[in-house]
């Protein structure tokens, strides 16, 4: 039996207020609860203020290791089914877009059990203009069975600069298959964020990617993230290539991209039809994990109705 290690390229959080909300589609979520004695504005400011330069510098990625192929099979047992691609949402063009860096991608900070962590994320087009996509393990820690807390998204982050502001969470969501089984086919996370310090919605300042379900896997794809192994995660990195179907991972129906990004890039978007000038495109996956004996490869869940589709439909207008 093949033995290998799967390293989650993480960032995770600790305790979050409120009870877990579940629905019939397998979506699980938790709302931000304002602590007693604070107003909502005071609490949001305290979350943003928590992330001082020192705490951002101390934030790490969390590696979760699967040491045996059987462990992977037990929790990732979906059949391989080919479906026609479906556009769940089109891109949202931001008028007057002028930037050499992708505004739709950003850095994520959060805590789990008192430790500061990092991930990556992206803005997608939604009715509420508040939706950020990331990996499931960037919102819920399977090992400790706790939600992230003090979760913030910083679009276009670079070398400590936050030109578009900081967006604190108002709801974290993932799939029950991730929460209960660490199913990498469902390592998807969705976060509804509050407006930034200027009262702006994240989509209004960053634009929004579209989402395509059941995309053709071998099309040119661009991935973004903030990996610790590249400039200490202080600038955005990217990979470009044609994904493959990794058949050596039994039960995993996702995709594999040649890419040297590691910890910290989790949750960063995989985009087809990416236009570097307009920064539009269709998101089809997220950075999820790497396999220790297959370096320079990134793996991600293939977006389908059962993972990101149902999660997006349930939250994009809240």
pLDDT 10s digits, 251-295: 889 999 999 998 899 999 999 999 988 899 999 999 999 888 788
Who wins on pLDDT, 274 or 82? 274
Contacts (Cβ under 8 Å, ≥6 apart) of 317: 126, 127, 128
d(CA 191, CA 30): 10
What's the pTM?
0.91
Sorted by where each starts, the structural domains of the chain and their CATH numbers stand as 6-315 (2.40.10)
Overall average pLDDT of the 183-188 stretch: 95
> What pLDDT was estimated at residue 291?
85
> What pLDDT was estimated at residue 104?
96
d(CA 298, CA 165): 29
- The three-point CA angle 277-283-284 to 5° equals 140
> What pLDDT was estimated at residue 82?
59
Contact yes or no for 189/139 (Cβ under 8 A): yes
pLDDT 10s digits, 45-76: 999 999 999 999 999 986 554 444 555 555 55
């Amino acid at each position: 039996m093949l033995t290998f290690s799967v390293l989650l390229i993480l960032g995770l959080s600790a305790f979050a207020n409120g009870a877990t909300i579940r629905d019939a589609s397998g979506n699980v979520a938790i709302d931000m609860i304002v602590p007693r004695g604070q107003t909502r504005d005071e609490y949001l400011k305290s979350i943003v203020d928590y992330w001082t330069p020192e705490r951002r510098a101390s934030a790490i990625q969390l590696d979760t290791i699967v040491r045996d192929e059987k462990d992977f099979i037990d929790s990732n047992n979906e059949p391989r089914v080919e479906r026609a691609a479906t556009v769940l949402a089109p891109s949202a063009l931001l008028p007057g877009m002028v930037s050499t860096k992708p505004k739709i991608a950003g850095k994520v900070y959060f805590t789990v059990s008192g430790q500061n962590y990092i991930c990556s994320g992206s803005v997608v087009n939604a009715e509420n203009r508040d939706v950020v996509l990331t990996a499931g393990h960037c919102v819920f820690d399977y090992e400790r069975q706790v939600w992230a807390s003090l979760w913030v998204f910083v679009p276009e982050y670079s070398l400590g600069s936050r030109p578009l502001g900081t967006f604190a969470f108002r709801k974290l969501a993932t799939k029950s298959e991730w929460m209960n089984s660490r199913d990498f086919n469902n390592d998807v996370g969705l976060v509804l964020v509050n407006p930034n310090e200027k009262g702006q919605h994240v989509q209004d300042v960053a634009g929004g990617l579209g989402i395509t379900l059941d995309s053709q896997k071998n099309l040119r794809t661009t991935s973004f993230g903030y990996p610790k192994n590249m400039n200490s995660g202080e600038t955005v990195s990217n990979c470009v290539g044609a994904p493959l179907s990794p058949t050596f991972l039994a039960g995993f129906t996702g995709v594999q991209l040649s890419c040297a990004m590691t910890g910290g890039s989790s949750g960063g978007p995989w985009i087809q039809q990416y236009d570097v000038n307009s920064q539009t495109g269709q998101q089809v996956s997220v950075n999820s994990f790497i396999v220790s004996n297959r370096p320079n490869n990134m793996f991600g869940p293939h977006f389908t109705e059962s993972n990101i589709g149902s999660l997006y439909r349930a939250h994009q207008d809240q």
